[in-house]
Chains A and B, each alone.
Chain A
Amino acid sequence: MEVTEASVLLLPFAASSVGAARRRLMSDLIAADICDSAVCDVALVISELLSNALRHAAPLPGSKIRVAWRIDTGNVQVSVRDGGAQTVPELGEPTQGATGGRGLRIVEKLSTRWGTSTGDEGTTVWAEVPVRLPKSETEMTTVGGRAVATESGLAHGRLGWHGGAVPPRWLLQEPLRLRSA
């Protein structure tokens, strides 16, 4: 699998953008020969990140939300940027029958690592989901999700991240290619 350019979508800050982003991402994953179960996992992760942002955060200027993904060797990196919220994204502790509180738990379980970053441009929540090609001879080792402590009061422009020594480089870079919704 070759590393692809980061794809970026600026979508309306509206519930309909969840499906719009998911369908675009899934179509990219299928085109990259990602196996079905991994496509399902990534689709779920992007939906949870977007739903969380749309429910709890403010929009970016122009009433937008920014979605980006990058298909890399062995994993797919997805991120959602919004205009920030009163609270930082945190893991819920839902009881068995509770309605709500599961979104980021799902992200945690399906990703090898995930995190948040806050800066002048807004708040970004990102996750890396392990994937493999259907015909890949090398089995991916799925690393269990890792608990993430939330951070607040980050200095402007400084990244907070979890689960790795360094934040993913793609997060720090400007998009290589902008796509309209």
Chain B
Amino acid sequence: MELNVSSRFHDDHTVVTIRGEIDLYTAPRLHSELAAVLVDGMPARVVIDMSGVEFCDSTGMNVLLSCLRRVRERGGDLEIASPKPAVRKILQVTGLDSVFTLVDAASLDQPKPAVPQ
């Protein structure tokens, strides 16, 4: 399995699940799959479930960064859920762990808790 992308849509957020390996070969496909998901009118919050990603290099990070930029332009946020150690490592080495919001996959299908007024 090289790359598999699936999405599920909730009222207030979208979850994109990526499985496999993200590199120079698979990144263009990831880019077009994400572009198809990030259409107008979708929820501002996008969660990328990376718990099934075995490998990701800087080419993959670039795809996620351009996705992050598009989501933020619309006032939303892009979260990365449950990266495996290999993905955590590149996030850490590149300093991108402070750019992306990292979350736990267990919270993916839960609406964000309301902030007390």
Closest Cβ of chain A: how far from B35's Cβ, in Å?
Answer: 14
What is A's interface to B at a CB cutoff of 8 Å? Answer: 15-16, 18-19, 22, 36-37, 40-41, 43-44, 47-48, 50-51, 54-55, 96-100, 102-103, 105-106, 109-110
Judging by beta carbons under 8 Å apart, are B25 and A44 in contact? Answer: no
How many B residues face the partner with a CB closer than 8 A? 26
Contacts of B93 in A (CB 8 A): 44, 106, 109-110
- Among B21, B94, B98, contact of A106 (Cβ-Cβ < 8 Å): B94
B42 at interface by CB-CB < 8 Å: no
Contacts of A41 in B (CB 8 A): 89
Chain A to chain B contacts (Cβ below 8 Å), 15 pairs: A15-B24, A18-B23, A18-B57, A40-B86, A43-B86, A44-B90, A47-B23, A47-B24, A47-B55, A51-B59, A54-B24, A96-B98, A99-B62, A100-B62, A106-B58
Judging by beta carbons under 8 Å apart, are B99 and A48 in contact? Answer: no
Judging by beta carbons under 8 Å apart, are B2 and A19 in contact? Answer: yes
| Known interface pairs A19-B2, A103-B58; A50-B24 also in contact (CB < 8 Å) | yes
Judging by beta carbons under 8 Å apart, are A102 and B86 in contact? Answer: no
- Of B7-15, B64-72, B106-114, the one contacting chain A is B64-72
Contacts of A98 in B (CB 8 A): 65
Interface centre among B23, B58, B59, B62 (most CB of A within 10 A): B58
Residue-wise interface mask of B (82-101) relative to A, using a CB-CB cutoff of 8 A (1 in contact, 0 not): 00011001100111001100
Distance A100 CA – B66 CA, assembled complex (angstroms): 10
B61 at interface by CB-CB < 8 Å: yes
Judging by beta carbons under 8 Å apart, are B57 and A48 in contact? Answer: yes
Contacts of B65 in A (CB 8 A): 97-99
| Known interface pairs A36-B85, A44-B57, A96-B99; A106-B90 also in contact (CB < 8 Å) | yes
Judging by beta carbons under 8 Å apart, are A47 and B62 in contact? Answer: no
Judging by beta carbons under 8 Å apart, are B95 and A19 in contact? Answer: no
Contacts of A102 in B (CB 8 A): 58, 61-62, 94
